[in-house]
Structure 1
Amino acid sequence: MNSSLIPKIYRHFFIGVTITLLVAAIELFSTGAIAQLLNRVEGILYDSRLVLTLPTTPQQFDETVVIIDIDDKSMAEQGRFPWSRSKMAELVSKLTEAGVIVIAFDIFFSEPEINPVSQIESEFPNFINSNKLTINEVKKKIDADSKFANVLSNNDTVLGFLLNNETHQQINPLPSSSVDWMLDDQKNSQFIEFSGAAVNIPTLQNKASGNGFINAHSENDGFIRKASLVHKVGNTLYPSLALEAARLYTLADKIETRSHILNNITLFDGIKFNDQWIQTDEYGKILIPYKGPAGSFTYYSATDILKNKIGESELEGSVAFIGTSAIGLADLRATPVGLQYPGVEVHANIFRGLIHPELLPAQPSWSSGATLLMIVVIGGLLTTLSYQKSARHIVVVTLGIAVLVTLFNFYLWTIEKISLPLFMPLLLITLLSGYYIFVGSIAEMKHSRKIKSMFDQYVPPDHINQLINQSSDLPQQSVKRNMTVLFADIRGFTSLSENMSAHQLSEYLNEYLSATTEIIFKHSGTIDKYVGDMIMAFWNAPLQDDDHAKHGVEAAMAMLKGLSSINQAFLEKNLPAISIGIGLNTADMNVGDMGSKYRKAYTVLGDAVNLGSRVESLTKFYEVAILVTKETMRACPHISFRLIDKVQVVGKTTATELFEPIDFTDSLNTTQLAELSKSEVAMTHYYNKNWQQSLSLLIELESTSVFSSHIYTVFIKRINETNLKTLSKDWNGAFRHQTK
């Protein structure tokens, strides 16, 4: 491993572990305002998940739960609420006649209704004393509370009462409880405890089949997401209205409790009625399985029941919750499925969940441990996958992990009915990704600036962008790779420059170099340097180019063709035309950011580079514009070449074959193709020592050539000057050049 990378690795993983541990600590130890804030955000996510996963068609069951609504219509037709107990008795009687099985009141009757006869007694005492017997009979007969109590006793009814801590205001005694709570389970219990209650008058309370509290407890943000099934008053546990209604519906005599003791603290496990087990948290709470928004249950206006407008078949076998949706009666609650949700419908949702426990989402005791495990896994995964990655890559990884975590959370909720916290894992993902994206963006900016500073003058702009987008390190360290190098020089530049002013010379060179550089850039080349009138360029670095030889030769041919327009511009300015020589070589070279600590440059080095320079210098000797080595020629099958010579340049012991690129093969005419074929035969005869056959072809080519004929003249002279007697036995035809 590169030792320079170790601090970067340590820093990256140290930050990742630190952020992960910080989030884990917040999950474990947050209290006060921080805990409230986290719970509020978690509540928002819980509400969103609940709403998004609500079925379009709620599951139907055998029993029907209905709401008997004391709505604005009922109060307009029957009078302001509270109504007379006689009217309430009539309502219960009509519901029973319609086939309702259980009737639960989200209402309590804490004061007796005034009997009209009692008012007469106070106004006319003498009259009452003389008719005492008759008056008592009338008083008893028209007593509304007695009528209501009588109706309650003949039906399965549950009365609601409100628990509070105002013991000094409690007038009526608490009812008996149907919850069977073992004495051993009462030590240091975690239930919400009350000291008093606003209960129904004994006349009604004692006649009802059951009694249940109607308290609804909202969380810190005011939303009702959980319901307490039991509350503690003294040493007694009291059931909720929905739980008591469920007990009556299932014909259970008692509600059993289960709990366990941990560290001398009683933690609640759940309740059981008629073999129905309901798991709760340690406080006796369940998550409310909301069926849908307000109105998900069937509503019947109380006045329509009283006026016999509802058919008996509609209510047959149902469970009715009597309450109100009227705004004026202030029983509207904030819930995940609605901000003005009737409180009576909250009880209906709880009842539905108790009868069908499969609807109840569980928040198991191990959820905190599962959340911590998820935080650790996510932290390790995201930290590992973000190492040395671009900001764009980190964004993709972050979104992928966030989506997977969310989908897994939704799967547990919808399929397994398990509610796990989602905010803390998402918070960790946000913090980690935010940090790594920020650091990655800064690194990319530095990377971009460094790339531009290194290559801005060397490579085309689109190559700069490609280099910036590369996720790997900068290509600055020297590496060996197969490349193509090009040298181009102006012929006779020294004599040309002697007749120009400094300003003219500057413009002259700038125009030529700019036009030539543009051609090299167009063919994916990299400018190495300018040395006076000489241009040095290479291919296959810094960006990989598998066709580097092809692009190099095509660039050289394009440079040659571009000279006509350059020279035309020079002639218009009364400047001399130029001719150039271009040499190319393809071989393994060293490329990288090289130089001293004071100045560096991205360049290529090696014998292959020097050979390219020697090849360019030979263009003048052979009077051709472009020369390439055999390796370069082999990589360009779409171009026709003419063998120029086999040479041994200064400083080299091996022979190098030189070729002149003529043109794209598809562009050549028959005359050109014929000459190339004849030239190849002549050169083959020459290297096979068939002097006369080679000489006759060369003489013919010298007089008829459509290309530069100087090479034929050179070989005719060599044959004529060759002394066959002194010719070495290992002669291979290579010509040794004595000068560079």
Structure 2
Amino acid sequence: MTEGKKESRKSGQRPGKVLRGVLLGLFALCVAFGFHGFGWLTTLENKSWDLRVKTGMDPGKASDEIVLILLDQNSLDWAADTLGLSWPWPREIYGAVASFCRRTGARSLGFDVIYSESSAYGVADDTFFGNELARFGRTANAVVLGTKSGQGRSWPSHLDRQRFPLEGMDLIPAIEPGKTGAFTGITLPVPEVAKSSAVLCNVNIASDPDGIYRKVPLFSRFRSQALPSLGLGVYLAAHPGAKAGLFMERGQLRMAVNGMIVPIDDRGRAALNYRGPSGSHAIYSAAWVIQSELQAREGVALPKETLRIFRDKYVLFGFSAPGLFDIHSTPVDSQFPGVEIHATLLENLLSGDFIRETPLWAALLFSGVLVVCCGVFTAFYTRALPMFSLITLFLFLPVGAGFAAYAAGIWLPVALPLTAVVITIALALIVNYATEGRQRRFIKNAFHHYLSPHVIDQILMDPDRLRLGGERRTLSIFFSDLESFTTVSESMDPEALTRFLNRYLTAMTDIIHSHGGTIDKYEGDAIIAFWNAPLDTPDHAERAVRAALDCQETLAKMRPAFQEQTGHAVRMRIGLNTGVAVVGNLGSDTRFDYTMIGDAVNLAARLESANKQFGTYTMISGDTRRAAGNTAVYRPLGKIRVKGKGKAVPIFEPMGKETYVSRQTVISAFETGLTLYDEGRFKEAAEVFSKIAKEDPAAAAYADACRRFTREPPKDWNGVWHMLTK
């Protein structure tokens, strides 16, 4: 088949396969989007995000502008052993922390501690702590907002309502009413602490349903009052004039803080860009800070390094002791103090690298392109290895894209496109099995009698290479017949004859199949086969010649056994021709065979028969000789004109090199005689042929012809041997 025809056939199949792939992909996307809408992909998405964060985190990027003071177990033990303090500590201890931060030049200080109850050590203790906070001035303290819990239901009149003026609050209900509903309950610090705080912050932040903190709100609403989270509050305490506001950008809610843009969702939450596990920021023990402050108050000169240790730092104070119950799970660490979550928010704010979430429309577009490509490619490449490669590629793409996007600070959904791809692949496999499977079964049933299993496997791997309708192809055509088979068959009973033929035909068929040939049919003892259909076989002539020589060699080995079985020396005659023929499924609507017709086929049959006149057993045409190249050694036999054809055909006898060497003297003499024959010098040619006639049946045939032409010279001699019978 020409490349143009194959390309035309394939191009005719492409629109249907493309449409099928597109429809499969879009259907899979709709199903996956339904799963997404029901929340069935949330767990997969969250777990994949945690993996991306763990893989891509970089503790070395943590800012040195942020430090943590942690009340750890060692601090609790130190206070109990040295100061005789049990839990809870008196407020003056926290006052010492605030005093030390002021002494060392901290930018601001945030306490992740709830001071909602009056101190057990009396009002003076609360007053002392409040005074220390007021002296420092740049402190943020915690409140707890709730819907069912909370000591109050309204904002206290003694507190300024505009400590955190947030512009654009009216945008929140427009996003999605209910999701951003305000808290109705509030638990405030004692008045001494609340009045002395620069900013009051909500520290009641909810985790995701699985208990992991991936996003935190930058602000919360208590009725109409906005309260920042602690991380933002620490920044605001250091920058009293900072302005904050909400605005819409391309349909997405954004928050601006002092010119810094923060991407937030419809609940005011930002996705945190964790630097690393707990301890990524500089940490100081509360015991060390308190000891240092007490020493300074006693007049001990602190080292210069200590006095500068918090200079221009944002300081956050919180708990890490297990018994104080402020340990949470995050994507990077299952033991993550709550204050470090607030520190991460502040870190992202200062660095301007909050994770940016991909809009739903963009995620759908990415998923759509992915599944359509997956559907189309899997429609075209149905073989096992390409299909496996495609499945691997398309399963990797959403995951790989998710990791690449994380490196760029983007949360690209993985669960949605991955699920859509899995559904697309599953549907493609089902459809391919239904369509390709039917085609495969047809091919096996149609060709298992004609082709070797290897060739059938090749067709099954790429059915597009097969064309079952009639087509014109250049074939190498094989005809064989047993010499004197009528005599052999008449001397054997039917059962013995059947056993003999089955053994003979099986051996010859195996050889033809091993050389990539197609069996056309058996006609009694005759075998008809061809090469270069249904699959393209560029070296078809070489294969045909090698198959013919192997058949003769194998039969020679089997001849003694066959002679014992049949009583005759079994020999086969083979004719080979290469030429254009029509090949395909030919027959009626209900019964057909994959066969061939044409002049090239008829010539191969004539060459097989011509062996009788020349006393040879394998004869090939000049076209086969040219196409086969140096596959064998070829002995010229002259030119013949078969009955019913006007054009003469050069003919050759192929043989192996060993045979040629052993017969070289005879063959050389034959070629000399053939030259004389072509020149019309019949008497001289007869003398040459006669000398080797006993050793060479072809020479004997030519000797007889030369003697006849000597007696009756032909007119218009052209050296052609005329075949008068079929």
Name the counterpart of 1:144.
125
Inter-CA distance 711–577: structure 2 relative to 1 (3 Å threshold): closer
Name the counterpart of 1:650.
643
Inter-CA distance 60–424: structure 2 relative to 1 (3 Å threshold): closer
Range 473-482 or range 626-635, more displaced? 473-482
The answer as to 2:283 corresponding to 1:296 is: no
Name the counterpart of 1:338.
333
Q: For CA contacts below 8 A with separation 6 or more, give which structure has more relative contact order.
A: 2
The separation in 2 between residues aligned to 1:483 and 1:602, in whole angstroms, is 14
* Residue of structure 1 aligned with 2:344, choices 340, 344, 349: 349
The answer as to 2:680 corresponding to 1:689 is: yes
The 8 Å contact of residues 108 and 315 in structure 2, kept in 1 or not, is answered as yes
> Unaligned regions of 5+ residues in structure 1, if any?
117-139
Displacement after TM superposition at 1:379 (Å)? 4.0
The answer as to 2:357 corresponding to 1:363 is: yes
- 1:569-718 aligned within 5 A: 569-571=561-563, 573=565, 575-638=567-630, 639-664=632-657, 668-669=660-661, 672-702=663-693, 705=695, 708=696, 710-718=697-705
The separation in 2 between residues aligned to 1:649 and 1:187, in whole angstroms, is 97
Range 190-199 or range 223-232, more displaced? 190-199
The separation in 2 between residues aligned to 1:489 and 1:261, in whole angstroms, is 86
Inter-CA distance 412–527: structure 2 relative to 1 (3 Å threshold): same
Displacement after TM superposition at 1:509 (Å)? 1.3
Structure 1 residues 244-300: Cα deviation after superposition (integer angstroms, max 9, x where no partner) = 101223x332432133599xxx98531323x44434344432111211122222333
Displacement after TM superposition at 1:160 (Å)? 1.0
The separation in 1 between residues aligned to 2:611 and 2:464, in whole angstroms, is 40
The 8 Å contact of residues 32 and 419 in structure 2, kept in 1 or not, is answered as no
Displacement after TM superposition at 1:214 (Å)? 0.8
The 8 Å contact of residues 166 and 197 in structure 1, kept in 2 or not, is answered as no
Name the counterpart of 2:146.
164
Displacement after TM superposition at 1:198 (Å)? 0.9
Displacement after TM superposition at 1:620 (Å)? 2.0
Residue identity matched to 1:344:
V
The answer as to 2:723 corresponding to 1:737 is: yes
Residue identity matched to 1:739:
T
- 1:398-547 aligned within 5 A: 398-415=391-408, 417-472=409-464, 474-547=466-539
The 8 Å contact of residues 391 and 437 in structure 1, kept in 2 or not, is answered as no
Q: Report the TM-score, using the length of structure 2 for normalisation.
A: 0.87
The 8 Å contact of residues 451 and 474 in structure 1, kept in 2 or not, is answered as no
> Unaligned regions of 5+ residues in structure 2, if any?
1-6, 81-85, 296-302
The 8 Å contact of residues 528 and 536 in structure 1, kept in 2 or not, is answered as yes
Name the counterpart of 1:119.
none
Displacement after TM superposition at 1:471 (Å)? 4.3
Name the counterpart of 1:53.
56
* Residue of structure 1 aligned with 2:316, choices 321, 327, 333: 321
The 8 Å contact of residues 89 and 147 in structure 1, kept in 2 or not, is answered as yes
Inter-CA distance 656–10: structure 2 relative to 1 (3 Å threshold): closer
Residue identity matched to 2:114:
F
Inter-CA distance 502–384: structure 2 relative to 1 (3 Å threshold): same
The separation in 1 between residues aligned to 2:355 and 2:405, in whole angstroms, is 10
Residue identity matched to 2:128:
K
Inter-CA distance 244–657: structure 2 relative to 1 (3 Å threshold): same
Partner of 2:569: helix, strand, or coil? coil
Partner of 2:410: helix, strand, or coil? coil
The 8 Å contact of residues 459 and 527 in structure 1, kept in 2 or not, is answered as yes
Structure 1 residues 64-97: Cα deviation after superposition (integer angstroms, max 9, x where no partner) = x222222222223324432111222223333444
Displacement after TM superposition at 1:386 (Å)? 3.3
Partner of 1:542: helix, strand, or coil? coil
Residue identity matched to 2:234:
A
Displacement after TM superposition at 1:106 (Å)? 0.7
Inter-CA distance 103–658: structure 2 relative to 1 (3 Å threshold): same
Residue identity matched to 1:181:
L
The 8 Å contact of residues 395 and 433 in structure 1, kept in 2 or not, is answered as no
The answer as to 2:243 corresponding to 1:248 is: no
* Residue of structure 1 aligned with 2:382, choices 390, 395, 399: 390
The separation in 1 between residues aligned to 2:290 and 2:372, in whole angstroms, is 66
Inter-CA distance 163–694: structure 2 relative to 1 (3 Å threshold): same
Partner of 2:477: helix, strand, or coil? strand
Name the counterpart of 2:73.
72
Name the counterpart of 1:271.
256
Q: Report the TM-score, using the length of structure 1 for normalisation.
A: 0.86
The 8 Å contact of residues 329 and 335 in structure 2, kept in 1 or not, is answered as yes
Structure 1 residues 536-565: Cα deviation after superposition (integer angstroms, max 9, x where no partner) = 121122232222222212222222222232
The separation in 2 between residues aligned to 1:3 and 1:555, in whole angstroms, is 32
Partner of 1:231: helix, strand, or coil? strand
The separation in 2 between residues aligned to 1:680 and 1:472, in whole angstroms, is 48
Report runs of 4+ in structure 1 exceeding 6 Å deviation. 1-8, 723-726
Inter-CA distance 43–206: structure 2 relative to 1 (3 Å threshold): same
Partner of 1:657: helix, strand, or coil? strand
Inter-CA distance 299–81: structure 2 relative to 1 (3 Å threshold): farther
The separation in 2 between residues aligned to 1:347 and 1:11, in whole angstroms, is 54
The separation in 2 between residues aligned to 1:183 and 1:99, in whole angstroms, is 34
Range 431-440 or range 314-323, more displaced? 314-323
The separation in 2 between residues aligned to 1:3 and 1:522, in whole angstroms, is 29
The separation in 2 between residues aligned to 1:43 and 1:576, in whole angstroms, is 83
Residue identity matched to 2:281:
F
Displacement after TM superposition at 1:147 (Å)? 1.4
Residue identity matched to 1:59:
K
Partner of 2:476: helix, strand, or coil? strand
Range 439-448 or range 520-529, more displaced? 439-448
Inter-CA distance 717–60: structure 2 relative to 1 (3 Å threshold): same
Structure 1 residues 330-370: Cα deviation after superposition (integer angstroms, max 9, x where no partner) = 2222322233322111001001111111x212236xx1222
Inter-CA distance 471–737: structure 2 relative to 1 (3 Å threshold): closer
The 8 Å contact of residues 36 and 220 in structure 1, kept in 2 or not, is answered as no
**Count of matched residue positions in the alignment of Structure 1 and Structure 2:** 694
Name the counterpart of 2:291.
307
The answer as to 2:271 corresponding to 1:287 is: yes
The 8 Å contact of residues 268 and 283 in structure 1, kept in 2 or not, is answered as no
Displacement after TM superposition at 1:194 (Å)? 1.0
Inter-CA distance 579–22: structure 2 relative to 1 (3 Å threshold): closer
Range 715-724 or range 515-524, more displaced? 715-724
Displacement after TM superposition at 1:20 (Å)? 1.4
Displacement after TM superposition at 1:151 (Å)? 1.2
Inter-CA distance 167–583: structure 2 relative to 1 (3 Å threshold): closer
The 8 Å contact of residues 478 and 594 in structure 1, kept in 2 or not, is answered as yes
* Residue of structure 1 aligned with 2:41, choices 10, 13, 38: 38
Name the counterpart of 1:180.
165
The 8 Å contact of residues 244 and 257 in structure 2, kept in 1 or not, is answered as yes
Q: CA-atom RMSD, angstroms? A: 3.2
Displacement after TM superposition at 1:516 (Å)? 1.8
The answer as to 2:193 corresponding to 1:200 is: no
Partner of 1:722: helix, strand, or coil? helix
Structure 1 residues 83-117: Cα deviation after superposition (integer angstroms, max 9, x where no partner) = 1112222233334444543221111101111346x
Inter-CA distance 188–423: structure 2 relative to 1 (3 Å threshold): same
Residue identity matched to 1:655:
A
Partner of 1:278: helix, strand, or coil? strand
The separation in 1 between residues aligned to 2:714 and 2:707, in whole angstroms, is 13
